[in-house]
């Protein structure tokens, strides 16, 4: 691939890692290409504001990052964007709302690795079809997860946590952002991997789960860095490990799960935008151009990375292929660990 200077382009690459049978979209982010940035006077879509429905509670990392991106798109295009929270049902409530919306581009859904991959295998029936009811726009970012525990937990390592689960009557409980979320699947993976007694407790978002973790009402939680950061800063929880291949820059002293002796525990949460089925190609293309351009901007890249996420972007076709691959891959994990939607 031809190299690009610091002031040239955003290049989106779709790669296939043969050994893992998965597609990974990598965004090679460069800056300041004037052809990528919409004119501020050119409103994206005429008429009413664009509403982005997110399946999480306000204040969650997905909410924070969506608002950052929405503000940039609004500044670039003059279009008013509204971020609306519709949590519950493992994301099914928000997805069903957008499924029924008019296919004109004014109502979008923040799809993620739960709603548009895991839920297909977790639930016998869904109120929406992730493929037939939506049109992909772009991938936006991915999150590695942090294994967090209450401050007063006796565990000093992942091995300690597992030993505690095996020795404690009734085992340990683990929180998740909701059924099918990365926190749910990672907890189930650790349970199956170790044979320890671990009980899943789903919440409607990372915020309520973090509060209960800090209070000691649950024993551990796989969660994004930005969602657990306020609790880390307040000294109410501790980070035992991260699920990324390398330590997070924000937590350089915290080992990876692999370095802690638990290979195969890498599972990122990913987030993208979709529109209702039937949305015209021209509208999808406009939305893709605006959001991909916003994701490429240096201030947005910085803010996304400060939240512990990785900015990523794609064409609609690449995002569709990515979701299909992730549905298959995550489905294998769900079946292997016996996870069920709750």
The model's pLDDT over 15-36, given as tens digits with 9 standing for 90+, comes to 333 333 333 333 333 333 333 4
Share of the chain above pLDDT 90, in %: 66
Q: pTM of the entire structure?
A: 0.78
Distance CA 121, CA 182 (A): 14
Residue 58: phi, psi to the nearest 5?
-60, 140
Asked if residue 104 has pLDDT above 80, the reply is yes
Written as one string, the DSSP assignment of 48-106 is SPEEEEESS-TTSHHHHHHHHHHHHHHHHH---EEEEE---GGGHHHHHHHHTS-SSSS
* Per-residue pLDDT at 184 exceeds 70: yes
- pLDDT of 271 above 80: yes
The model's pLDDT over 126-147, given as tens digits with 9 standing for 90+, comes to 999 999 999 999 999 998 999 9
Classify residue 255 by its DSSP letter. P
Query: What domains can be seen in the chain, in order of their start residue?
Result: 10-143+270-337 (3.40.190.150), 145-242 (3.40.190.10)
pLDDT at 42: 57
Using alpha carbons only, what angle is made at residue 243 by residues 254 and 126, rounded to the nearest 5 degrees?
Answer: 145
| Average pLDDT of every residue of the chain | 86
> For the chain, where are the alpha helices, taking DSSP H only?
61-77, 92-99, 119-122, 158-167, 182-194, 206-214, 225-233, 281-296, 298-306, 316-337
Neighbours of 200 (CB within 10 A): 19
Question: Cβ-count burial of 16 within 10 angstroms (0-12 exposed, 13-18 middle, 19+ buried)?
Answer: exposed
**185-208 confidence digits (pLDDT tens):** 999 999 999 999 999 999 988 889
Categorize the per-residue pLDDT at 266 as very low, low, confident or very high, splitting at 50, 70 and 90: confident
Q: pLDDT class for 13, splitting at 50, 70, 90? A: very low
pLDDT at 25: 33
Average pLDDT over residues 296-300: 96
d(CA 205, CA 280): 32
Q: How far apart are CA 34 and CA 262, in angstroms?
A: 45
């Amino acid at each position: 691939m031809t190299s690009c200077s610091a002031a040239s382009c955003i290049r989106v690459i779709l790669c296939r890692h043969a050994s893992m049978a998965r597609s990974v979209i990598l965004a090679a982010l460069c800056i300041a290409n004037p052809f990528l940035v919409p004119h501020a006077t050119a409103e994206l879509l005429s008429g009413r504001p664009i509403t982005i429905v997110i399946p999480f509670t306000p204040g969650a990392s997905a909410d924070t990052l969506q608002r950052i991106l929405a503000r940039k798109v609004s500044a670039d295009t003059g279009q008013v964007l509204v971020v609306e929270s519709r949590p519950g049902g493992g994301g099914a409530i928000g997805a069903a709302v957008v499924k029924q919306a008019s296919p004109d581009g004014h109502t979008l859904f923040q799809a993620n690795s739960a709603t548009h991959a895991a839920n297909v295998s977790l639930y016998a029936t869904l109120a929406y079809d992730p493929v037939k009811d939506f049109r992909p726009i772009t991938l936006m970012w991915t999150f590695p997860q942090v294994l967090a525990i209450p401050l007063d937990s006796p565990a000093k390592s992942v091995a300690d946590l597992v030993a505690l689960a095996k020795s404690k009557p009734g085992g340990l409980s683990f929180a998740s952002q909701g059924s099918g979320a990365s926190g749910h699947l990672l907890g189930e993976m650790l349970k199956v991997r170790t044979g320890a007694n671990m009980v899943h407790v789903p919440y409607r978002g990372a915020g309520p789960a973090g509060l209960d973790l800090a209070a000691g009402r649950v024993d551990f939680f796989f969660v994004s860095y930005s969602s657990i950061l306020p609790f880390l800063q307040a000294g109410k929880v501790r980070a035992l490990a991260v699920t990324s291949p390398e330590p997070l820059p924000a937590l350089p002293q915290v080992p990876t799960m692999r370095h802690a002796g638990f290979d195969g525990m890498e599972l990122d949460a990913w987030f993208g935008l979709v529109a209702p089925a039937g949305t015209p190609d021209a509208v999808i293309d406009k939305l893709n151009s605006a959001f991909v351009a916003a994701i490429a901007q240096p201030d947005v890249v910085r803010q996304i990375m400060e939240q512990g996420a990785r900015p990523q972007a794609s064409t609609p076709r690449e995002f569709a292929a990515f979701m299909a691959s992730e549905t298959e891959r995550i489905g294998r994990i769900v079946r292997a660990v016996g996870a069920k939607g709750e």
